Chains A and B, each alone.
Chain A
Amino acid sequence: MPGKLFARKRDGRVEVRVNDAGRALLKEFFVHVVAGERDTEHDWHVALNAPINPSCDVDDPLSTLARQSDISSNAELSLMTSNAQFLTEAEAWAWLSTLQVALRSMAVVHGILSDEKLETCAPEVLEEIRTLQQFLFDLAACL
């Protein structure tokens, strides 16, 4: 059985036990979230701007600004700490949030909105989704 990708230490920090290839992959996901939030042409941009109150034609600008700012902050913090051996609680939370945003964005972009769609999606997409889920599963277990 493979070891856990993340482990909580006695001092409260989270140890990252991901190899170089895994870190490169994580970094790629973090970069995509940063780009998706900034670039309106990016594939993930629409997924990152879901409606807050669907009964209104336009969401409250302050709410959308807060969301944009927080998603970017988490993604940038994740990117800055992508080579770290240990993460603080705040950094680990930023990683979890950013990876979950990446997972959701990938699902939305590929139209994976049901279990049936997930089972029939392209193998390479499914592999990326399973990889992200494994990162998230192990990180969530530490938080």
Chain B
Amino acid sequence: MAPLPLQASSTESEAETRVAVVTERPWNVIVWNDPVTPMTVVVVVFRRIFGYSTNKCTQLMLTVHHEGRAIVWSGQRERAEAYCVKLQVAGLQSTVEQDA
């Protein structure tokens, strides 16, 4: 009967889509440490671009300072690149990379 293969095909397609969604790894926005940028500037820039609390921005800034880098945002590639550009426009060293 004709409808059965169609239904089966549709179910397979949904399953494939689910698998694709599950295996898509997020993109991370990374901010890198540098020896000249004042800490207060980093906090102000994070607060303005991401809208995070001052406390969270300070913690992220300290992670950058002590560990050399910090993931400041994760998600879709397009948005990650847009955030990365905003950070670079504000003068911070940032890149995007796909989650390992």
One digit per residue, 1 when the CB lies within 8 angstroms of any chain A CB and 0 when it does not, for chain B 83-100 equals 011101111110111100
**Does A136 count as interface, using CB distance less than 8 angstroms?**
yes
How big is the A interface, by class?
A: 35 or more
Give A13 to B37 CA distance when docked, in angstroms.
24
B93 to chain A: which residues have CB within 8 Å?
50, 104
**Does B82 count as interface, using CB distance less than 8 angstroms?**
yes
**Is the pair A50, B88 in contact by a Cβ cutoff of 8 Å?**
yes
**Is the pair A103, B36 in contact by a Cβ cutoff of 8 Å?**
yes
**Does B16 count as interface, using CB distance less than 8 angstroms?**
no
Given A60-B81, A136-B38, A140-B41, also A55-B89 (CB < 8 A): no
Contact of A118 among B36, B38, B41 (CB under 8 A): B36
**Does A78 count as interface, using CB distance less than 8 angstroms?**
no
Task: Indicate the member of B34, B86, B95, B97 with the most A CB atoms within 10 Å.
Answer: B34
**Does B44 count as interface, using CB distance less than 8 angstroms?**
yes
Minimum CB–CB distance for B94 against chain A, Å: 8
Residues of chain B whose beta carbon lies under 8 Å from any beta carbon of chain A: 34-38, 40-41, 43-45, 48, 81-82, 84-86, 88-93, 95-98
- With A100-B91, A140-B38 known, 10 other A-B pairs at CB within 8 A are A52-B84, A66-B82, A74-B89, A96-B44, A97-B89, A101-B91, A103-B37, A136-B40, A137-B38, A143-B44
Residues of chain A whose beta carbon lies under 8 Å from any beta carbon of chain B: 50-55, 60, 63, 66-67, 70-71, 74, 93, 96-104, 106-107, 112-115, 117-118, 129, 133, 136-137, 140-141, 143
